[in-house]
Every structure is written in C-alpha cells, then in structure tokens.
Structure 1
Amino acid sequence: MNGTDYAEFRTDLNHEEFYFDVDDDVKLHGVLFKPDSIASVGTIFHYSGKGMHLMSSIQESYKPLLKKGFQIFCFERRNFGKSNGDATNSLTLKKDALFIFDEIIKLDNVVNKPILIWGQSLGGAFASMNASERQEKIKGLVLEGTFSSFPDIGKVYANALNLENFKWIVPLIMNNDFPTEENIKKLTIPTVILHSKSDKQVPYELGKKIFEKANKNNTRFWDIDSKHIMGIYDYEEKYVGEFIKMIEK
C-alpha cells in the first residue's frame, strides 16, 4: 500500500457504506456514520484534510458529533483510500463532489433534516465550493485550517513540496478552480471560520484572508490555539456547539 489506501474498511461506529459509480470503471468510496441510540438531528457533509482517509484518526473526530445526534458523511476522492480513478483533473474532482452531495441529500434518513458542510485544511476548498454551489440546500458551513486559494498555499510550499507525491494537486494550483476566498463571498448562510495562530501547516494569515472576503453579516472568525485541524479535540464543547447553533436557527 502507498499510505493512502488500505485493504479493508473497518469501524466500531454505526455506519452505512457506499460506492458511487461516477465514471466508467470509477467508483468512489464513502461512509455515512450514524448516532447509536438517538435519532439524527441533522447531517454533516465532511471534506477531510489531505491524507485523512476513512481508516485514519478521522473516525475519532466524529465521536463528539455523533454523541449529539449528528450523522456524518465523508467520501474519499479518486485514487485515495478505497476509491479508484485518476485524480489529475480539478473539474472532475468538483463534479465528483457535487454528484455525491446530491446523492446523499436524497437519502431517506437525510432528507427533510438540516444539512451542514464541514471542511478542514485541503477539504475546506471543496467545502466552500460545495456550499457556494448548493447554498439553498444547506444550513451552514464550518471551515478549519483552510487556505484562501490553491495558488496561495502553493506559494507557501513551493520550496518544500515534492510534486512527485502530490501530482494531483498541480492542476488545482494552476487552474485555481476552488478559490475559497471567492466562494466565501457568495454565502449568506451561517459560516464559521476557525484557524489556529500556531498552525504550522496552513498559515493563520490564509485563514484570515478568507474571512476578509466573507460577508460579515453571516460569518464569524474564531481564533484558536491548537495544532493543525485539531480544534475538535481541544475545543470539543464549543466546536460541537457551533454545529448545534446552526441547526437551531
């Protein structure tokens, strides 16, 4: 294995597993994690950070939300985890994300209940795109440790990035098809942007740059002091509370 895939999906959490046919011979793997003993209060569509496949520590981060009745869906992009296919076309990745979102919101246990989008790090670019394209379908957006655009983060890592290991990110940097700082302008739904001042992977300034472009009538910025996208662990009660407030509005 290359570190981004695994032999078998396993979890102790209540869940439903999916494979989506998105193209000829291309199947994308996703999982809907469900609360154990209480009825779902809503669904969080999660776009995870780079390297966070569904057998990573990601499952642990879902537990505080599951306890409060949220169900959480996440899928693995092409050529990652148990998904196959070529991930070198940024517009294809966008099409995949919107197709899967549209399929999930039609599920019987998802429809007619609040839907939120949660994006962390790299996943924040996809989350803001999804939110801007389907704003009428969702109640709110939470972004953590996200960068303003692929060109901006590309500049940060220009000297350190080994492009042999990250070929799939090149078209995103070149085309900037997921400009978070532009997508955020379109949103009128409740939005929270949180970023750690001590984030060593995505500079704090790139999170602030997103907020600068956002509609201040519906967007709040939350400073935290944590490692990169670790806020759910260090600020559990307040973090989960942000999702709860969004579904109560």
Structure 2
Amino acid sequence: MFQKVFVSSVLFAAIVIYFNTAIIQYFQSFVKTSVSQDKQVNLFTKDELKLYNGIDKPQLYLAILGKVFDVSTGASHYGNGATYNFFIGRDASRSFVTGKFDVNDVSDQVADLTAEELRSVNHWVQFYNKDYKRVGKLIGRYYGADGKLSRYGKEVKKLIQAAELSKDNEDLEKLKYPPCNVEWDAQRGTRVWCTEKSGGISRDWVGVPRQLYLPGSQDYRCACVKIANEVSASLKQYDGCDDNSHSCFVTS
C-alpha cells in the first residue's frame, strides 16, 4: 500500500514538474518572439508612406530625416485640413525650418542648412521621439532598402553632431565672455557696459567691455572680460575706453 502511494506521489510530482516546465518554456518562447518582433523595423517606400494619410489608411504617418512616426494621436494637428497635415505621408524635413508648406517646396534635403537650422531639425526629431511612436524608416535619401543609414544619412548625422557641439562651445564661450549690455543715445552715441547679470548670465564678477572677434572674421561682439589685462588674439580694447572701466561710450 505504501509503495503504491509513494509511486503515485512521485508520478504526480513528475507530471507537475513536466507541465510547469512546459508552461515556463512556452512563456519564454512567447517573450522571445515578442522581443524579436519589437526589434523588427518596418521599412516604407515613398508610395507606401503616402497611404498613411488618415483616408487610404486610418493612421497618420510622417517622416523626418527618414524616421517614420505615427502621429495619429495628434489628429487635431495633423488630420485632414489641420495646420500640419502638409507633413503627413511624406518626408518634408526641410520645411520644419523653412516654414514653406507648399507641395512644390517639399524636400528632405538638409545638408546645406546652417548649424542653427540643423539643430532646429534635430530638436523636431527629439520632439517626435518623445511625444509619438516611431514605427519605421523611409527607404530613400536617409535609409537603404536594408534599413541601414545611407551615406547621405551618415553625413547629415555628422553635420548635426557638429552643429550641436558648436552650440555647446558657443554656450561655454558665453559663460567665459558674457555679452555686454548695449544702449544707444542720440546725444552720446552707443554705450556698452558690464554688470553681474549682463548677457543674462549671473556671476560673482562684473568685468570690463572688450571687442571679442570671431575666429577668422572681422566681425566682433561686445564681451565682458573678467580680468582687465587678459591677453588674447580674439580680444581688443575699445578705443577711448579706460582699461578698468565697466562702462564705455564707443564710436563703432
């Protein structure tokens, strides 16, 4: 009797283990499949993307720098007749900075834009990444049929990185040399002066106004320099301005 009960218990335990293992394996397989599906990237041709206009297909898709986003949740902005419907079903990256919303001006070329304009396009990409779902890539200027970044796409990526870096350097320069306050008076001319908050940059020093020249250029801006006798090829004292004066009237 004891042996029968023991054998039955062992058999029952084996069955439980078998089914538990099978269930675990099933869910592991399901998770792996789901993850694999999530990693799959949808590729769209221009003709396919055009269909996601809320009419031919219910979704609203747009592309920027070849990245395709589903903006259906923003139908009030992107739906038929809405302000930004121009961007639906196409890649009109250039228009994000030019503001030209005519079908004759549709272009995804941005390599010739200024650093500031490239930063603006990149900020739009960041906006869509944050607020909308990215659903794939557009085959064309930025991505090949294999989904890999094209030569043009790589070049634009480098240009954007350089543009963002130049902005960081510009911000660092303004921390080191904050802009002066400037005012013009019909009787006395132009006055430049420094305070602890000039240029919108708070600090614990005032500084003296100097001409700060841009590299390789004859153009300059007024900058507040912390040390009056600082020597730099980029800095020049204003004519007629005392070495240690925080405020000067200048002729140019």
Please tell me the TM-score bracket, short chain as reference: under 0.3
Larger radius of gyration: 2
TM-score, scaled to structure 1? 0.21
Larger relative contact order (C-alpha < 8 A, sep ≥ 6)? 1
TM-score, scaled to structure 2? 0.21
